Amino acid sequence: MPLRRIDPLVRLLLVAIVLASVLPVSERWRGVAQAVSNAAVFLLFLLNGLRLPRAEVIRGIGNVRFLLPLIAWCFGAMALAGWGLSLLVAPWLPPLVALGFLYLGTLPSTVQSATAYCSLAGGNVAHSVVAAALLNILGVVVTAPLFSLMAGSQAAAFDLGGLEKVALILLLPFLLGQAAQNRFGHLVREHRDLATWMDRGSIAIAVYVAFSGAVREGLWTLIGPGEWAVLIGAVLLFLAFAFSGAWLVGGLVRLERGDRIALLYSGAQKSIAMGAPLASVLFGPATAGLVLLPVLVYHLFQLVLSAPLATRLSRT
């Protein structure tokens, strides 16, 4: 596959992982790097708040028949599947990597690629945009406590301090962006390419800092060929469950074909744009990279699957 055909975010993530492997953040600069990562995450969610029209959010909330099954699938069935898979792979993977499957299951959908592939497949793009955006808004307040509850307090404690960090670094900038939308929202729309690259850069910084900590803790010695085989096999199993299950849910609630395609991509894809920043806020530098590993592999594979699937759906 020519390099230019690879998703730009995937390219940036690969660069971040390679850079973290070769030149990880030293112990001396870890605090500075984490502060830069937090600032980048703050900017990311501020831009999201400026970008997402409030009218679309309000209009989308009214589509209960579409949203309720989607929310139940994303934060219910997928979270339970991630929990079950984390237990299944626990004997063969390092504990934090196995826990990463539960973290993957509790994440919301990605916004940009879910919308793009929904459009390519002939789905309801408006519903896809609003649904993915609402899932990400919910993810800010749902993912962390849900993950902590299912993982157990010993594995992933989530207390008032964790809630404050999520509110200050993720929720506050989004609300500020929504409040300033009428005054500054046009800047994001007029400079869409720049805003998109700022988004991608923020995610890449969060991944770089997280993986630097994991590399310093011996990531590449913990994960050998056998562990990689188990990890990839488990991700493929989760991917099959996610896409087939989301499609079946859309059929069971008798959605029209366009809405069913929107539910498929909004329900089956998982957001590295939420996963990486949230991991950098919730976990320590040595922990975040290991927990993120299943999320990164899943993100790559979901893009590989989504394009041919969208082409097939558009022809049916």
- The per-residue pLDDT for range 116-163, each reduced to its tens digit, is 777 778 887 777 777 777 787 787 778 888 888 888 754 555 555 555
Q: What is the dihedral of CA 52, 102, 80, 113, to 10 degrees?
A: 30
Q: Which pLDDT belongs to residue 18?
A: 85
Alpha carbon distances (Å) from 254 to 64, 114, 228: 13, 21, 39
Half-sphere exposure of 14 (CA within 13 A, CB side): 8
Would you state the structure tokens that stand for residue 234, as one six-digit string?
Answer: 């488990």
User: Among the residues of 52-124, which ranges form H helices?
Assistant: 54-61, 64-72, 78-89, 95-106, 112-121
Q: What is the dihedral of CA 224, 225, 226, 232, to 10 degrees?
A: 110
Predicted confidence band at 1 (pLDDT cuts at 50, 70, 90)?
very low
Among candidates 263, 296, 222, which has minimal Cα distance to 115?
263
| Mean predicted confidence (pLDDT) in 184-188 | 75
Mean confidence (pLDDT) of the chain: 79
Residue range of the domain that includes 171: 3-315
Q: Which pLDDT belongs to residue 21?
A: 82
What is the percentage of the chain residues whose pLDDT exceeds 90? 18
Predicted confidence band at 52 (pLDDT cuts at 50, 70, 90)?
low
At residue 4, does pLDDT exceed 80?
Answer: no
Question: Cα separation of 13 and 292, whole Å?
Answer: 12
At residue 76, does pLDDT exceed 70?
Answer: yes
Question: Cα separation of 54 and 251, whole Å?
Answer: 29
Q: Is the pTM of this model over 0.85?
A: no
Query: 256: domain CATH number?
Result: 1.20.1530.20
Element (H, E) at 30: helix 30-51
Q: Which pLDDT belongs to residue 3?
A: 45
Q: Which pLDDT belongs to residue 165?
A: 63
Query: For the chain, what is the domain count?
Result: 1
What is the 3-state composition of the chain as percent helix, strand, coil, each rounded to the nearest 5? 85, 0, 15
Predicted confidence band at 37 (pLDDT cuts at 50, 70, 90)?
confident
End-to-end CA distance of the chain: 26
